[in-house]
């Protein structure tokens, strides 16, 4: 089955973000296709249409005006969807306009004031549980507040309850999160490996050790901090050096 260059471009983007509803900029609209179009039509109460994108290839399609993005984005996020925003990076002209994802929006990475609660933090929290202790890293992207801590394993739920995560990041293999009170995102276990997390943080701060940040002796907190930092930079499509730092633990660690 033949496909148009535009269709091929969209499929390449969608392949990289299969878990998100992709809003694909086409002129004055953000369009959705295939199953994303069915979701958008149902959740946003917009018309589901179809477009031929290659001979014999009619594709489901639903779109929203670009100037109404915040309104529709909020409705998708509050219903638990992740949204990848694909913008036009070059002006229209001859040939295919270059497009790419500029941001992935989830409950924990919302920054639009209209989508936030004025009197509550919007924490993106990463939790990493070891054998007897747990590391927790959190950040409010809208304010820049962030910190890490390490607590006894039995206190992890209490600490999370205090933070009330807008979104909770955990390791893909962690079976304790079959059910969660908060929107859950699973990360590849790779990002929680001690060497990987430590490298992410050292590169971020451009330092040789984390002793100056008060968490050199907190290996589980470092694992959580690395996972949180990786996720934030990946979703906001920004370098890690632009993001809020890891602060000292929120409470003293028992000796």
Cα–Cα dist 37/46, whole Å: 9
Q: Are strands 167-171 and 145-152 parallel, antiparallel or unpaired?
A: unpaired
Burial class (CB in 10 A: 0-12, 13-18, 19+), 234: middle
Strand partners, 151: 134
pTM score, two decimals? 0.77
**Phi, psi (rounded to 5 degrees) for 152:** -55, 145
Res 242: pLDDT: 40
Strand partners, 187: 171
Give me 56's structure tokens.
């014999």
Instruction: Note down pLDDT in tens along the chain; length 255 residues.
Output: 688 999 999 999 999 999 899 999 999 999 999 999 999 999 999 999 999 888 878 999 999 999 999 999 999 998 889 999 999 999 988 889 999 999 999 888 888 887 788 788 889 999 999 889 999 999 888 888 888 999 999 999 999 999 999 999 999 998 888 778 888 888 899 999 999 999 988 888 888 988 888 887 899 999 998 888 877 766 665 443 343 444 434 443 433
Res 6: pLDDT: 94
Angle between helices 219-236 and 194-205 (to 10 degrees): 60
Sign, CA torsion 85/86/89/92: negative
Helical residues (DSSP H) of 79-152, grouped into ranges? none
Q: Report the SS3 class of residue 184.
A: strand
Give me 3's structure tokens.
């496909």
Res 1: pLDDT: 63
Res 206: pLDDT: 87
**Of 70, 44, 80, 249, residue with least CA distance to 166:** 80
Residues recorded for the chain: 255
Cα–Cα dist 149/163, whole Å: 12
**Residue for token pair 């109404």:** 68
Res 68: pLDDT: 95
Cα–Cα dist 140/111, whole Å: 9
Res 244: pLDDT: 45
């Amino acid at each position: 089955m033949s496909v148009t260059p535009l269709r091929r471009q969209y499929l390449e983007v969608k392949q990289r973000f299969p878990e998100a509803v992709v809003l694909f900029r086409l002129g004055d609209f953000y369009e959705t296709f295939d199953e994303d179009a069915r979701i958008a039509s149902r959740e946003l109460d917009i018309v589901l249409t179809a477009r031929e994108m290659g001979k014999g290839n009619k594709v489901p399609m639903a779109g929203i005006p670009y100037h109404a993005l915040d309104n529709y984005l909020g409705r998708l996020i509050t219903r638990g969807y992740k949204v990848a925003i694909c913008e036009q990076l070059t002006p229209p002209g001859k040939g295919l306009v270059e497009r790419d994802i500029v941001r992935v929006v989830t409950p924990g990475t919302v920054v639009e004031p209209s989508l936030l609660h004025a009197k509550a933090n919007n924490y993106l929290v990463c939790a990493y549980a070891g054998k007897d202790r747990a590391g927790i890293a959190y950040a409010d992207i809208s304010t820049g507040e962030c910190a890490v801590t390490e607590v006894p394993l039995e206190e992890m739920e209490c600490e999370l309850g205090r933070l009330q995560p807008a979104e909770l990041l955990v390791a893909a293999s962690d079976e304790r999160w079959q059910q969660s009170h908060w929107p859950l995102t699973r990360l590849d276990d790779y990002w929680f490996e001690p060497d990987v997390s430590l490298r992410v943080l050292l590169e971020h701060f451009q330092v040789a050790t984390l002793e100056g940040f008060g968490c050199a002796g907190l290996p589980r907190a470092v694992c959580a901090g690395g996972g949180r930092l990786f996720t934030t930079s990946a979703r906001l499509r920004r370098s890690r050096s632009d993001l809020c730092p890891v602060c000292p633990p929120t409470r003293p660690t028992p000796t």
